[in-house]
Amino acid sequence: MNSDRVADRVKGLKGSGIREFFDIAQQTEGAISLGVGEPDFVTPWSIREACIFSLEKGYTSYTSNWGLLELREMISDRVYTDDSVYYDPEGEILITTGVSEAFDLAVRAIADPGDEVIIHEPSYVSYKPCTLFTGASPVCVDTGVEDEFKLRAEKLEQKITDKTKAIILSYPNNPTGATLSRKDLEEIADVVTEHDLLVISDEVYGKLTYDGKHTCFSSLNGMKDRTILLNGFSKAYAMTGWRLGYAAGNKDIIEAMMKIHQYIMLCAPITAQMAAMEALRTNDEMERMVSEYNRRRRLMVEGLREIGLSCFEPKGAFYTFPSIENTGFKTSEAFAKRLLLEEKVVVIPGSVFGASGERFVRCSYAVSQYEIKEALERMGRFLEGHRVV
């Protein structure tokens, strides 16, 4: 196939660095993967049973483009109970095929060619490509370990121009595990109000907050109408393969997102939607999984520090982001590839999450404690073999 037939904006796009290492790990016998951010827990039985029962009852049809009304009502109730923000289930909530689709719809619904969208980095790998697909320009704000990878209002304001349309927030953060306090978010909200901006707030890791309580951005004064809240079931409920998320926000924006959704996706699978309703009925299994992640978090951080890697203590999600500054490797990609080759441990180069991630690697602790201990032992051996004298 002649590459001239491929659109320029796609032709120049690099593939996902996360998926590259995932594919390599799949082909490497004996590899321990700290790479892909996927819970090692099986979806709780009551949720799977709800899906099975829905199939037995013959629920195999399309749903409304908006998603099942009962599910939207339950999401509305949950957000109001947890975060004191009310969303009308009949016009302010859209069920999507994962949070990834929700993000794509959100940025396409608000950004025109020539607009600028501010993204704090390190950040999830799809934010920049999806922004570029709209013809808008991503503008990156670096965050660093010296400030616990927090987006600061003063740094944000320095990047705002008359072309700025929106800010993307992602806390708890993938890949760093950083969180923002209510005060941090309020300072950002002041900037948003002053410059009349929109916010796309990806809070899929909100339930995986270990220190303090997660603050929903749209719960802040004046932010509901300016915020497109994104969330889903993949992480907290171990439902990655079910591909179910949602967006909540201003009625006009959510309706615009639905218009795109109805042409490209139609609706999320009905069986996944019915399973999600069961997930919302109980928190017991989710709380058990979060407690286990917290134990693994401490094990991973302590272990990385013991083998000589400086590591910021993550406050949420299920990732650590240790520094490789003093390992002698010039790039995070070189470090990750040699570690995989020599010790069969998969980590993700920090560079795939933005330039400010270059001197780091992402290690997921969504694996068993046994695998964490084995991976740390292998990494320690690897570092000893490459110790800078």
Transcribe 278-334 into DSSP letters: HHHH--HHHHHHHHHHHHHHHHHHHHHHHTT-------BTTEE--B-TTSS-SSHHH
> What CA–CA distance (Å, rounded) separates 105 from 133?
11
Residues 6+ apart with CB under 8 A from 101: 243, 245, 261, 265
| pLDDT for res 136 | 97
Q: What is the pTM of this model?
A: 0.94
Summarised one tens digit per residue, pLDDT across range 70-103 is 999 999 999 999 999 999 999 999 999 999 999 9
Element holding 349 (H helix, E strand): strand 348-349
Q: Which two tokens stand for residue 341?
A: 């080759």
> What CA–CA distance (Å, rounded) separates 70 from 224?
22
| pLDDT for res 389 | 40
Number of H helices and E strands in the chain, helices first, is 13, 12
- From the list 96, 83, 110, 49, the residue with the least C-alpha distance to 250 is 110
| pLDDT for res 248 | 98
Question: By the 8 A CB rule, do 92 and 249 touch?
Answer: yes
Q: Give the CATH architecture of domain 3-43+285-385.
A: Alpha-Beta Complex (3.90)
Other CB atoms within 10 A of residue 195 CB:
14
Beta bridge partners of 168: 119, 200
Transcribe 81-126 into DSSP letters: HHHS----TTTSEEEESHHHHHHHHHHHHH--TT-EEEEEES--TT
Q: Which two tokens stand for residue 354?
A: 């933005």
| pLDDT for res 172 | 98
Question: By the 8 A CB rule, do 165 and 136 touch?
Answer: yes
Burial class for 61, CB neighbours closer than 10 Å (0-12, 13-18, 19+): exposed
Q: What is the mean pLDDT of each run of 10 residues along the chain (389 residues)?
A: 75 70 72 89 96 97 98 98 97 98 98 98 96 96 97 98 98 98 98 98 98 95 98 96 97 98 97 98 91 97 97 97 94 94 95 96 96 97 79
- Taking only Cα atoms into account, the Rg of the chain, rounded to an integer number of angstroms, comes to 21
Mean pLDDT of the chain: 94
CATH number for the region 45-281 comes to 3.40.640.10
First to last CA, the chain: 51
Burial class for 34, CB neighbours closer than 10 Å (0-12, 13-18, 19+): buried
Question: Domain coordinates of the chain in residue numbers?
Answer: 3-43+285-385, 45-281
Using alpha carbons only, what angle is made at residue 86 by residues 83 and 87, rounded to the nearest 5 degrees?
120
Q: Which two tokens stand for residue 23?
A: 């594919």
In the chain, the amino acid numbered 135 is G
Phi and psi at 194, nearest 5°, equal -60, -35
